Amino acid sequence: MCGRFTLNQSAEALAQFFHVEPVLDLAADFNIAPTQMVATVLQNPEGEKREFQQLHWGLIPSWAKDAGMGAKLINARAETVAEKPSFRSAFKHRRCLVLADGFYEWQRQQGKKQPFYFRLEDGQPFGFAGLWEKWRSPANEEIISCTILTTAANELLQPIHDRMPVILEPKDYDLWLDSQVQTPQTLQQLLRPYPAPAMISYPVSTLVNNSRHNSPECIIPLSEEKTPTNQLN
């Protein structure tokens, strides 16, 4: 699963990388947790242009009786997303990029959960494959929410966890965002593990275990003298 991630990029960098304007000047976030607002990119079906939006993390299906259901739907499995009632409509019509530059996974070690930080080797931001949905409460309050798709772990993640978030290649952004593309087989081809050689990981402080801790300390390697490396090398 993907339960925490980071986004520490300037608005200018995000606008340039994802080809979208304007982007809000976001504060650096080193510990993004479920139910928080997250930065996303959607495609306007009318103008065919990319749009930046902040969405509630935890997808609330349009038919849900209350917003609390979203806390259980922070992730969607790529293998079954086209079939699950909570996700199948959004998978066809409402896909997005959830913006990030790293994420955390935990490994059980001697009865404790040790967090590891994963990011791209070149330090660039990236887009998780996401879905979005509109929900309206009985009091007529509208919430636009999203979920992050997950797939089988690549070789770098396998020792830590058997799942990983789907990180899309920039060349696939247009296809993923195009609401006119609705064939599951076409979309499923994009939902593959990201190449392990292009990523690095290292253990970090358990500070990140508490979502109230949100500082650069969350992504500092446990051993300062240890340079982050791809563990496959």
Structure tokens at 122: 């070149």
Q: How far is CA 115 from CA 30, 160, 199, 202, 211, in A?
A: 13, 9, 16, 9, 13
Distance CA 96, CA 50 (A): 10
CA nearest neighbour of 75 among 97, 58, 53? 58
Contacts of 32 (CB under 8 A, 6+ apart): 4, 5, 6, 7, 38, 57, 100
Element spanning 16, H or E? helix 11-18
Catalytic sites, residue numbers: 2, 105
